[in-house]
Structure 1
Amino acid sequence: MILTHQGVRRAAAVALTTAGALLTASALAAPAQAAAAAPSVTGKGAFLLNNASGATVYGKAADTRRQMASTTKIMTIAVVLNTKGVDLNRKVTVKQAYRDYVTKEGASTADLRTGDKVTVRQLLYGTLLPSGCDAAYALADTFGTGKTTADRTKSFIGKMNAKASELKLKNTKFDSFDGISGKGNNYTTPRDLAKIAQYAMKNANFRAVVKATSYKTTAQAPNNKTRTYTWYNTNKLLGSYKGAIGIKTGTGTAAGPCLVFAATRGSKTLVGVVLNGSDRYKDAAKLLDHGFGSTTAKTMKLRSLPADAQRD
């Protein structure tokens, strides 16, 4: 209850005693419960929002532009899934160019093999779980338009920027389909990236992919053979923080360690971002605890990845 100045005087007057004009403890008591202090995080930028209302729960340098590394792939997949008439069972033939690209860039990979026929759905998992830049390349090449691979990937990046404009994100720009930026013109802010994540998470197929800790699938290989792919989710918050439901890691020289995350407890879902954070998982747990009013971060033990799994 908030008292007016006059109300305070009345409350004090009632509390006066005839013995010595002493005030009772209740008259000058502090508010019943002070708001929880905002957590301290290592991330140079961070943001947390309520998924249902979009209300800001936490912000740190929320509107400062930063590189976003492979969290870029959230928009890559969002564009694919929101393509009119998208067929997730459509077959895509893996090109040698996709493998050459990850070798040249030293990029994270789904280890797609040349000549294999994989579905769009499989490419979603290959892009988001092991953060495969080869899988992202395949999607950009498939869903862009133009006569050449270069034309098609450029067209696809244009679609990513068009979606950012549609979402009214004034501090976000893409020059890459996977976060590998030659000129540094691939940036966002914690607030904008949280909004991209909030948008992406509206799609049931996206939610299904990012909540999976691993995915095993088979694809048609050349000479009528079958190849098995097994991918592990680089997001170690999954299986570590109670209620975590996604969504994407990212690491780059300029970007530093990044994490976009989401969790649900009861009827509340929170979506957050940590950019360039030396302890991104602990940061995320602290922010989620702040939003949920819990203390999970203090005892959280991170899920470990197999030795041969991709790191991002």
Structure 2
Amino acid sequence: MRKSNLKAGFLGAVLVCASLAQARVVGTFERHFSVSGPTNLEVLTRSGDITVHSGPAGTISITGRIHVGDTWLLGDRNADVKSLESNPPIKQDGNSVRIDYVNMRNISIDYEITAPADTTVSSHTGSGDQMLDGLHSRITLERGSGDIKLSRIQGEMNVHTGSGNVVADDVSGGFTGEAGSGDIRLHDRSGDVRIRTGSGNIELRELSGGLHAEAGSGDVTAEGKLGGDWELRTGSGNVNVRLPSDTAFEVEARTSSGNLHIDAPVTMTIQGNVGREQHAISGKVRGGGHLVAVHTGSGDIHIE
């Protein structure tokens, strides 16, 4: 029994050490690129986190942290790590900087990047988180899995992740976002918004443009001013819409199974009483305006 316990303890220690070793950074590098005028940044990775901050004009600075998955064999990978440190997969062509894939088994790189605020950013990555802050340009992000966080972005944003959450805080501009599974939370002060998630909740705040939001399953919440038509759909989940108290709009709301409530008086185009439970309402509020269309397969609808 004693030998068995000792063996189990040894194996547990080995697993803990292996876990710590796998998380260890085994190499780093820094590169600085001079640019002028409109700048483009492209990032291609199979795995690894990406962080981009706005910085001074004229320079893109990149710090890479190299991780090796099989650190028990690090002695065999030292040459690969040293090669990446001396010759990272980064190229400059005029005002365009491209970070390319790492074609080495079980090696990933986390990137921390500082770029001029007007840098156009595009990324195509396999797994890992992305964070962008303070840019005033077009953003295009495609990720297989991992969370995406945007803050203080001004410009057109196009974001796709297979699985993971999308959070955009204090942004301005048109926003298109899609997640196969995961929540989407957006605070967008201007621009039209198109959102879709296969499974997950959608939460939208301080909107002022048009809106199309769709969830396969999950709750949908939208607050803001109508700058265009709003359409909100979910296969199963509740939908809550909050508008300024003096907003004039047309409404089409339907739930297959659930309660439907609109706080404002509605001039009905079909028979019904808003004060009673019902599954569909179509009409005008304060004489009508932009359309607010809300549909849920199973769930409650509340418009206030």
- Which structure's residues are more often helix, by fraction? 1
Q: Taking structure 1 as the reference length, what is the TM-score of the superposition?
A: 0.22
Q: Taking structure 2 as the reference length, what is the TM-score of the superposition?
A: 0.22
- Which structure's residues are more often strand, by fraction? 2
Q: Which structure would you say has the larger RCO, counting Cα contacts within 8 Å and 6 or more residues apart?
A: 1
